[in-house]
């Protein structure tokens, strides 16, 4: 049967099925259409909509294998599939769904975390750009490429705040700050969902992991979370709220328990907060197997209890645990789960299927020509390259070693990553047969950039995880013949990501020793570090003159790296997470509370809140990043020294590009509430502005604050501001700031 015919039959069936209802089908609202379909459904078919299976293509958890998935699709017992990719494959399965009694289309979901066909920088790297519009465009391209390949739904954005770089999943989020994280959450949701759901270039977003997953104890994945409700509300929930407000179609709950209640079975999170306070109208999906995993948590005895707990708590769809499909029927029949809960979940799921236009045409995302055009659109690569440039953080640049001259005679390119093709894609990226012709390695990017008079020398030096130093001699010899060395070290793509917690986050293997050996040649050395998390590399930070943090930058990594190395792009990125000096400082974050015994400085260690063996400060603070130029800040001037609710205060600084290169600065505003009814953080990011200044140019930058910007959660969880004294800080990172006091008066 042709596709057009199939679609026609489907539409006919929908109309016939709905004839019994008085309003003509085409005039009905989505809510009425959903009710019409719901009315026709058996209990088994309803439960089927709440059931999601993996497509056997890729798995990030144990795959359940009892029963035949394809038969179940034909019987209307599956509502959604994940990890089914490509037009052909999605079409095949959708055709099976069209053989079910009611022909309700499947939803195809996948982890499109940082690009699909074109891999963009990992989310943490993109967050380092602080460029909200660019981050939105990245999500837009990912959505277009994925939607063209049959995907309806991405399990992104991951909006978990993360203060612990041992946790491998920090790579998927926006870092440690709720203000920056909220802006990015909104941009990503809007980017994925485009102008509106139902457009064929829009995919449904999924804010995850609800909630507090980023605070897994010890940075160990899937671990428990124990935190005060104030911290939950103030630090961990804001990006979720921003995603909900931005219209995220779905939410995913999470593996962790929160204060003893697994998030998947957590009524407070899903019913009270998400649906109640936030009035979320989309649906929630469990994480992979997390409904069933409540058994291992020791929260429920079996799948019967697990399904009951999850559905009662507000989890609408069961990803791969088969708890719902196996037990919900009995639970309803026995009166343990009211049918109204099932109807509510199914209504939410069907609503999204209608909004996506799948009831009009279940195959509308399966279009080979569109897929081919979208997949080969050279603009996508250009946008990825711009994003990658913006994501590279310049951590150190002594004596202006960077940028390099394009006519440098001899450059030694050393390290396990310099020639590698796929290593820059990072975790959560996809493999395609033509990868090697599309992905630009650092070597290839640099080769394109330099002129014919430059000789590039190569030595690997060591493998990523090597314990052997056998390659050092060759690398040292190569370095000795060069004018400058570019050394690319770091983590392999499978070292940060899901289930990739590390207790030590140093450069793996003998890579830092390789750096020492190369540095000992006396040649100028530029180290580039690939990673999915903040790593610890103190010796390098202390001794090597130039360091670029290159994360995992995606398909166009090599081009972007070359742009930065040779000054065609002046680095502008700023760290979205604090970089610790040792693992012992973790968790580490700039917006910590003040203690009763704060240390005055690094030497102040006696009976104050300090380590006796190292400073409290991180190696590189939140918001930090250098440029090939320098910026100076005037003192802050305030429009008023005191204001009251209903009024505002404007703080102004003049920022000057005091160097000789044009460049971009990210001007950051922080605030501290000096005395509160609960202890307040020493600094909180409240705003930032990115400005581009020509060499020697100055610009005034102003921030306006209202009483609402000073709100926090008090001990009754009321979101309030309190009159009193505040300090305001403006600068180029969270540490180097100018400051000024102001007062918020009573009304």
Beta strands in 311-445 (DSSP E): 318-319, 393-397, 410-414
Q: How far is the CB of 64 from ligand NOJ (least distance, A)?
A: 14
Mark residues 1-40: x for contact with ligand NOJ by CB under 6 A, - for none: ----------------------------------------
Closest distance between ligand NOJ and the C-beta of residue 398, in Å?
40
Give the pairing type, strands 724-731 and 663-673. Answer: antiparallel
Whether residue 525 contacts residue 487, with contact meaning beta carbons closer than 8 Å, is answered with: yes
- Interhelix angle 30-40/3-17, rounded to 10 degrees, is 80
Tracing tokens 């610009």 back to the chain, one arrives at: 699
Q: Pick the closer one to ligand NOJ by CB: 61 or 247.
A: 61
| Secondary structure (3-state) at 557 | helix
Angle, helix 472-480 to helix 511-519, in steps of 10 degrees: 30
Q: How far is the CB of 89 from ligand NOJ (least distance, A)?
A: 16
Residues 436, 434: Cα–Cα separation, whole Å: 6
Smallest distance, ligand NOJ to C-beta of residue 200, A? 23
Q: Which is nearer to ligand NOJ, 111 or 722 (CB)?
A: 111
Residue 180: half-sphere exposure toward Cβ, Cα within 13 Å: 32
Question: Would you call the peptide bond into 97 cis, given omega within 30 degrees of 0 as the criterion?
Answer: no
- Nearest of 257, 253, 248, 320 to residue 284 by alpha carbon: 253
We find the least distance from the C-beta atom of residue 185 to ligand NOJ, in angstroms, to be: 15
Judged by beta carbon, residue 253 or residue 585, the one nearer ligand NOJ is 253
The Cα-based distances of 69 to 207, 289, 315 in angstroms read 27, 16, 22
Q: Which of 108, 113, 111 is nearest to 89 (CA)?
A: 108
The helix/strand/coil state of 95 is helix
Q: Mask: binding to ligand NOJ, 120-149, rule CB under 6 A, as x and -?
A: ------------------------------
| Selected catalytic residue, list 287, 318, 559, 673 | 287
Residue 206 CB, nearest distance to ligand NOJ (Å)?
7
CB of 217 to ligand NOJ, least distance (A): 17
In the numeric block, the tokens 């982890």 are attached to 111
Residue 579 binding ligand NOJ, by CB under 6 A: no
Binding footprint of ligand NOJ, residue count (CB under 6 A): 9
496 vs 591, beta carbon nearer ligand NOJ? 496
Q: Which of the residues 717 through 746 are near ligand NOJ (CB under 6 A)?
A: none
> What is the length of the chain?
747
Q: Both tokens of residue 66?
A: 């009892």
Per CB under 6 A, 111 contacts ligand NOJ:
yes
- Complex with ligand NOJ: residue 172 or 563, whichever CB lies closer: 172
Please name the residue ranges forming H helices in 426-465. 435-438, 442-449
Site for ligand NOJ in 69-88 (CB under 6 A): 82
Give the long-range contacts of residues 519-523, CB within 8 A, separation 24 or more. 519/543, 519/544, 520/476, 521/476, 521/479, 521/480, 521/485, 523/412, 523/479, 523/480, 523/482, 523/483, 523/484, 523/485
Residues 248 to 277 in contact with ligand NOJ, rule: CB under 6 A:
none
The two beta strands, 642-643 and 153-154, are unpaired
> Rounded to the nearest whole angstrom, what is the least distance from the CB of residue 209 to ligand NOJ in the complex?
6
Site string for ligand NOJ, 445-484 (x = CB under 6 A): ----------------------------------------
- 559 touching ligand NOJ, by CB under 6 A: no
Q: Identify which of residues 134 and 162 has a Cβ nearer to ligand NOJ in the complex.
A: 162
Q: What is the DSSP letter of 250?
A: E
Which residue number, 234 or 287, has a Cβ lying nearer to ligand NOJ? 287
**166 touching ligand NOJ, by CB under 6 A:** no
CB of 208 to ligand NOJ, least distance (A): 6
Phi, psi (rounded to 5 degrees) for 113: -95, -40
Residue (205 or 529) nearer to ligand NOJ, CB: 205
* 3-class state of residue 471 by DSSP: coil
Q: Residues with Cβ < 8 Å from 500, sequence gap 6 or more?
A: 168, 169, 221, 427, 494, 532
The closest alpha carbon to 254, from 209, 212, 318, belongs to 209
Maximal C-alpha separation, the chain: 85
Task: Give whichever of 61 and 676 is closer to ligand NOJ, judged by the CB atom.
Answer: 61
CA dihedral for 503, 509, 515, 521, sign (positive or negative): positive
Strands, sheet with 206-210, edge to edge from the N-terminal-most edge strand:
206-210, 250-253, 283-285
Cβ within 8 Å of residue 232, ≥6 positions away: 211, 212, 258
Burial class (CB in 10 A: 0-12, 13-18, 19+), 33: buried
Q: Which residues are 609's β-sheet partners?
A: 598
Binding mask 482-501 for ligand NOJ (x = CB under 6 A): ----------------x---
Cα(239)–Cα(192) distance, integer angstroms:
16
Task: Rule CB under 6 A: say whether 155 interacts with ligand NOJ.
Answer: yes
- Closest distance of CB 60 from ligand NOJ, Å: 4
Q: Could you confirm whether 602 is annotated as catalytic?
A: no
CB of 377 to ligand NOJ, least distance (A): 26
Residue of this chain nearest to ligand NOJ (CB atom): 155
The residue among 190 and 500 lying less far from ligand NOJ, judged by its C-beta, is 500
Sole residue written with tokens 């007062």: 743
Least Å distance, CB 52 to ligand NOJ, is 10
Closer Cβ to ligand NOJ, 64 or 405, answer by number: 64
| Cα Rg of the chain (Å, integer) | 27
List the Cα angle 419/168/396 in 5-degree steps: 55
Q: Which helix (H) or strand (E) holds 257?
A: strand 257-258
Instruction: Between 172 and 361, name the residue whose CB sits nearer to ligand NOJ.
Output: 172
Nearer Cβ to ligand NOJ, position 222 or 375?
222
Q: How far apart are CA 649 and CA 643, in angstroms?
A: 7
Backbone CA torsion sign across 332, 335, 337, 342: positive
Question: Is 208 a residue that touches ligand NOJ (CB under 6 A)?
Answer: yes
Query: Which of 126, 145, 287, 665 is in the footprint of ligand NOJ by CB under 6 A?
Result: 287
Q: Are strands 410-414 and 724-731 parallel, antiparallel or unpaired?
A: unpaired
**60 interacts with ligand NOJ by CB under 6 A:** yes
- Residues 334-393 contacting ligand NOJ, CB under 6 A: none
C-beta of 61: minimal distance to ligand NOJ in Å?
6
Binding residues for ligand NOJ (CB under 6 A): 60-61, 82, 111, 155, 208, 287-288, 498
Which residues does the annotation mark as catalytic? 287
């Amino acid at each position: 049967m042709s596709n057009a015919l199939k679609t026609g039959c489907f539409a006919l069936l929908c109309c016939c099925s709905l004839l019994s209802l008085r309003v003509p089908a085409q005039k009905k609202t989505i809510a009425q259409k959903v009710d019409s379909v719901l009315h026709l459904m058996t209990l088994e078919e309803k439960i089927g909509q709440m059931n999601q299976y993996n497509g056997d293509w890729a798995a990030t958890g144990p795959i359940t294998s009892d029963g035949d998935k394809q038969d179940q699709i034909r019987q209307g017992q599956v509502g959604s599939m994940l990890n089914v990719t490509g037009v052909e494959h999605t079409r095949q399965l959708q055709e099976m769904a069209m053989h079910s009694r009611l022909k309700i289309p499947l939803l195809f979901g996948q982890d499109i975390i940082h690009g699909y066909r074109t891999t963009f920088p990992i989310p943490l790297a993109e967050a380092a750009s602080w460029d909200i519009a660019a981050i939105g465009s990245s999500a837009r391209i990912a959505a277009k490429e994925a939607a063209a390949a049959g995907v309806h739904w991405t399990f992104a954005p991951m909006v978990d705040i993360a203060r612990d770089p041992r946790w491998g999943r920090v790579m998927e989020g926006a870092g440690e700050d709720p203000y920056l994280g909220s802006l990015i959450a909104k941009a990503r949701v809007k980017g994925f969902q485009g102008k509106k759901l139902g457009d064929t270039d829009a995919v449904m977003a999924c804010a995850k992991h609800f909630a507090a997953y980023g605070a897994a104890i010890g940075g160990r994945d899937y671990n428990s979370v124990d935190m005060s409700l104030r911290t939950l509300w103030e630090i961990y929930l804001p990006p979720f709220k921003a995603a909900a407000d931005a219209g995220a179609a779905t939410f995913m709950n999470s593996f962790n328990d929160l204060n003893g209640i697994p998030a998947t079975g957590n009524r407070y999170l899903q019913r009270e907060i998400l649906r109640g306070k936030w009035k979320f109208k989309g649906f929630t999906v469990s994480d992979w197997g997390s409904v069933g995993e409540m058994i291992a948590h020791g929260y429920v005895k079996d799948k019967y209890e697990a399904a009951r707990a999850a559905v009662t708590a507000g989890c609408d769809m069961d990803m791969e645990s088969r708890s719902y499909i196996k037990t919900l029927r009995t639970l309803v029949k026995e009166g343990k789960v009211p049918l109204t809960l099932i109807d509510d979940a199914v209504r939410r799921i069907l609503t999204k299927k209608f909004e996506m236009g799948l009831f009009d045409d279940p195959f509308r995302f399966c279009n080979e020509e569109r897929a081919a055009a979208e997949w080969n659109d050279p603009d996508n690569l250009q946008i990825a390259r711009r994003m990658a440039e913006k994501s590279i953080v310049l951590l150190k640049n002594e004596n202006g070693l960077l940028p390099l001259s394009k006519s440098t005679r001899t450059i030694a390119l050393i390290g396990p990553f310099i020639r590698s093709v796929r290593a820059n894609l990072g975790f959560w990226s996809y493999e395609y047969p033509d990868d090697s012709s599309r992905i630009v390695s650092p070597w290839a990017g640099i080769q394109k950039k330099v002129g014919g008079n430059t000789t590039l020398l190569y030595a690997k030096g060591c493998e990523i995880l090597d314990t052997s130093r056998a390659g050092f001699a060759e690398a040292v010899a190569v370095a000795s013949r060069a004018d400058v060395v570019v050394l690319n070290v770091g983590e392999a793509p499978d070292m940060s990501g899901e289930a990739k917690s590390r207790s030590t986050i140093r450069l793996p293997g003998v890579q830092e020793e390789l750096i020492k050996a190369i540095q000992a040649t006396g040649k100028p050395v530029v180290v580039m570090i690939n990673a999915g998390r903040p790593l610890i590399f103190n010796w390098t930070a202390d001794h090597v003159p130039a360091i670029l943090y290159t994360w995992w930058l995606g398909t166009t990594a090599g081009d972007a790296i070359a742009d930065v190395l040779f000054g065609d792009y002046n680095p502008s990125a700023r760290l979205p997470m604090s970089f610790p000096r040792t693992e012992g400082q973790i968790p580490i974050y700039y917006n910590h509370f003040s203690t009763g015994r704060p240390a005055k400085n690094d030497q102040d260690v006696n009976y104050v809140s300090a380590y006796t063996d190292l400073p409290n400060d991180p190696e590189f603070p939140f918001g930090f990043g250098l440029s090939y130029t320098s910026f100076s800040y005037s003192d802050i001037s305030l429009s008023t020294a005191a204001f009251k609710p209903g009024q505002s205060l404007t703080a102004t600084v003049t920022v000057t590009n005091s160097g000789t290169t044009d460049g971009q600065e990210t001007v950051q505003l922080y605030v501290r509430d000096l005395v509160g009814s609960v202890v307040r953080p020493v600094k909180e990011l409240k705003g930032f502005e990115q400005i581009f200044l020509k060499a020697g140019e100055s610009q005034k930058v102003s921030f306006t604050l209202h009483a609402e910007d000073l709100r926090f959660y008090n001990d009754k969880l009321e979101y309030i501001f309190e009159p009193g004294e505040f300090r305001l800080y403006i600068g180029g990172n969270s540490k180097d700031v100018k400051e000024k006091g102001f007062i918020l008066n009573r009304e």
